[in-house]
Amino acid sequence: MRNYIVAPLTEEIVFRGCMVPPLLASGMSTLKVSLIAPLFFGIAHVHHAMTRISKGERVSSVVLITIFQFLYTSLFGSYVSYAFIRSGSIIAVTFSHSYCNWMGLPDL
């Protein structure tokens, strides 16, 4: 419930619905907004590092995992920011976010 409904909906409302329109209204281009706004989305996921450290994982491992997580959440944030700008639909990007959470990363 949390990973597939609550988190995607609240994150999309905050990070797309509340951050993207003011940036666009300030005169930023779609490209800049699609690249800058997601950085805050990536930063918002850094708190997972504290959970990993408290569970006893090595700090060096946690740093690498956190950097990777920041990069892929920022990349995904760029995609959904652009999709939100083009569609204007929080529901569409929420479903995209839920699907991404459900699929996870490829198991290489």
Concerning whether 45 is annotated as a catalytic residue, the answer is yes
C-alpha dist (Å) from residue 25 to 11, 28, 35, 43, 90? 21, 7, 16, 23, 18
Concerning whether 12 is annotated as a catalytic residue, the answer is no
Name the active-site residue from 45, 47, 57, 97.
45
pLDDT in tens, 71-102: 999 999 999 999 999 999 999 999 999 999 99
pLDDT category of residue 108 using cuts at 50, 70 and 90: low
Summarize the confidence of residues 18-37 as an average pLDDT.
94
Q: What is the pTM of this model?
A: 0.86
